[in-house]
Chains A and B, each alone.
Chain A
Amino acid sequence: MKIAVFCKSVPDTETKVRLKGDRLDTSGIKYILNPYDEFAVEEAVRMKEAKKAEEIVAISMGPARAQEALRNALAIGADRAVLVTDDALDGSDTLATAKVLVKVLEKEGGDFDLLLFGQRAIDGDTWQVPSQVAALLDLPQATCTVALEVEPGSKAVATRLVEGGEEIHELTLPAVITCSKGLNEPRYPSLPNIMKAKKKPLTTYSLGDLGIDASEVGKNGSRTEVLSYELPPARGGGKKVEGEPEEVVAELVKFLKEEIKVI
């Protein structure tokens, strides 16, 4: 099998989000490989270790710094990496991104058996790109997978958690799978593997290399646009109602009626 694993460079989970005007203040942010993508890379590497896969290609679209997220994927065990980076990509929405990723897959031979994604990226948190890629390629997909069994050349069996139980899907390959927490416990990239990753091939493509016109991506090529960012409102202090039950109930009802007007 040939597996594509999609990787995104995102701010570290401990980042204190600050705004600069109506944009995200990116100064001093430490970037990491999106934690959900780690599940995807780990799953692919386990399939390779189990001799079910021959090649794992880690793919990212993003600024030059996304190379580090790809090196991380290579250190976990991907064989090679592809980065699409181009100033014109700035402002691309999820659909524009999905279109670019589809072009990368074509450029890389189009013969992938499995496309693995993290179920969501912890920064934009849209959950959309994997499904859009699946739709553009007309491939079956299973999202938020917590268990995966793959029979190379034939099918994948994916388990998803749903309220009160599990859903089990059988998908014919090639297929798109998005990975959830619980699918596996990603290994720490060891120091020897980090050094080996340095020597693995990492190809960089510009839009021109992929035959994409700048008007198809970025703000111009997107159907949605981020107008501004706002921090969530600071949590106000709670209100404590004290006293005998009759008094408390009366006060609470008054509060619900008059102050927050829900009854």
Chain B
Amino acid sequence: MEFSFTEEQRLMAETARKIAKDFPPDYWYEKEEAGEFGAEFWKAISEAGFLGIVIPEEYGGVGLGVSELMLVIQELCENGCGMAGNWYICLTEVFGAMPIVKYGTKEQKEKYLPKIASGELEFCMALTEPNAGTNTFRIETFAKKEGDGYRINGSKIFISGADRAKGMLLIARTTRPEDAPKKTHGITLFLVDLPNEAVKVSPIPKHGINYSKTCEVVIEDLWVPESAVLGEVDKGWFSLLDVLDPERLVFTVASVGIGKLAINYAVNYGNQRQVFSQPISSYQSLQHPLAEAYASLVSAELLAYKAGWLFDNDGHYREIGAVANMAKAVAVENATKAVYWAMQTLGGYGYSKEYHVERWWREINLVRLAPVTQQMALNYIAEHILGMPKSYS
């Protein structure tokens, strides 16, 4: 057994901490309020090589795995960036770089990877639809073979970063469910260049994470050449798992990071804040929930890195899925608890925007809904790990 990080991993974490200190909560407070992209932060993480962690060296990246990606993201989140430490990196590197590295043709790799690694190209993923969330097989966006390409129609919802991205991983059916020999058959991944007149993008006003826009995307008669297909036609489901598992993992460590950030913030505040004769942090009604949340977050963190290790070492997808879902469920439950009790510790200040906790509260609220709801993560544990019957179909 080996629990320690390597020297290089520790130095990477150190670089992430330094960047986080240069983009502290006050920076994100301003970006959030202005609804503005964190361009200065994007520049810093581009220069530090964070967008090319999983990209091979020959394409301008660092050639490492999801474990290093998680490590860097957690450090950013935990040391002051909150969800912003994960958000942009996930959209571009997990949704763009990862599937292209694994399934792209040489031409696709040459076209996209160097620009992703340098921070020149932002990405997004268009999967979710008004009638298809976790039930991915029900997506209705359809790509019909036409000449030496495909004609695509459909609509997507909650597509983060689509307003800025120049590249989109678009998931569509190429065979209708009724014609498919197997449930998992018929899904194809496409790489689409944006902006495109056939792709209409409209931001959706939302609860938090307003330093990035989340959009409705309507695709009307979009034509793409065959060379836009990523991986194999009709067999995109298994490639998609290689995006969805890392997505779950980076959101898990982001949750751990946000939870720890809120706890540290609450502890510092509570140690200073004297209401009656003692600092309020001496009260056990605040200590116990923060301590419980912290212990659980650290447990989820270990589980998450185990999942990352399995992913990087070609673990079986069922095992990765199991560990990733357990880590996600525990991390989010306890990050939510951590931010709740941080707000309780700060009292009225916790409700005031300048004290950041309310922003982290809005951020952590997303993770109980996406990338997968807490309930679906628990369903996965019940069905696939415990062997209980499926309650839905």
Contacts and interface: CB of A to CB of B under 8 A. Distances in A.
Contacts of B49: 190-193
Interface of B: 7-8, 10-12, 14-15, 18-19, 44, 47-50, 52-53, 57, 61-64, 68, 72
A135 B47 CA distance: 41
Interface residues of A, number: 16
B62 A195 contact: yes
Interface stretch (A39-47, A68-76, A160-168): A68-76
21 contacts: A32-B14, A68-B7, A68-B11, A71-B8, A188-B44, A188-B48, A189-B14, A189-B15, A190-B49, A191-B12, A191-B50, A191-B52, A191-B64, A191-B68, A191-B72, A192-B52, A194-B12, A195-B57, A195-B62, A195-B63, A198-B7
B11 A71 contact: yes
Of A68, A75, A188, A192, chain B has the most CB atoms within 10 Å of the CB of A188
Nearest to B72: A191
Given A190-B15, A191-B50, A191-B68, 17 more contacts: A68-B11, A71-B8, A72-B14, A188-B15, A188-B48, A190-B48, A190-B49, A191-B12, A191-B15, A192-B62, A193-B49, A194-B12, A195-B8, A195-B63, A197-B8, A198-B7, A198-B8
B53 A191 contact: yes
A119 interface: no
B25 to A, nearest CB: 16
Interface in A189-229: 189-195, 197-198
Contacts of B53: 191
Nearest to A72: B11
Main secondary structure of the interface of B (DSSP, over half): helix
Interface of A: 32, 67-68, 71-72, 75, 188-195, 197-198
A197 B15 CA distance: 14
Contacts of A191: 12, 15, 48-50, 52-53, 62, 64, 68, 72
Nearest to B264: A14
Contacts of B14: 32, 72, 189
A189 B50 CA distance: 11
Nearest to B50: A191
Nearest to A193: B49
Contacts of A198: 7-8
A195 B61 CA distance: 11
A18 B48 CA distance: 34
Contacts of B8: 71, 194-195, 197-198
A198 B64 CA distance: 14
A194 B12 CA distance: 7
Nearest to A68: B7
Nearest to A198: B8
Contacts of B10: 68
A73 B5 CA distance: 19
Contacts of A193: 49
Which 6 residue pairs across A and B have the least CB separation, nearest first? A191-B49, A190-B49, A191-B62, A188-B15, A194-B11, A190-B48
Contacts of B47: 188, 190
Contacts of A75: 11
Nearest to B15: A188
A68 B8 CA distance: 9
A130 to B, nearest CB: 24
A90 B18 CA distance: 30
Nearest to A13: B21
A64 to B, nearest CB: 11
A193 B52 CA distance: 13
Contacts of B64: 191, 195
A68 B13 CA distance: 13
A189 B11 contact: yes
Contacts of A72: 11, 14
Contact of B18 (A71, A188, A197): A188
Contacts of A189: 11, 14-15
B83 to A, nearest CB: 21
Contacts of B50: 191
Contacts of A67: 7
B207 to A, nearest CB: 32
Contacts of A197: 8, 11
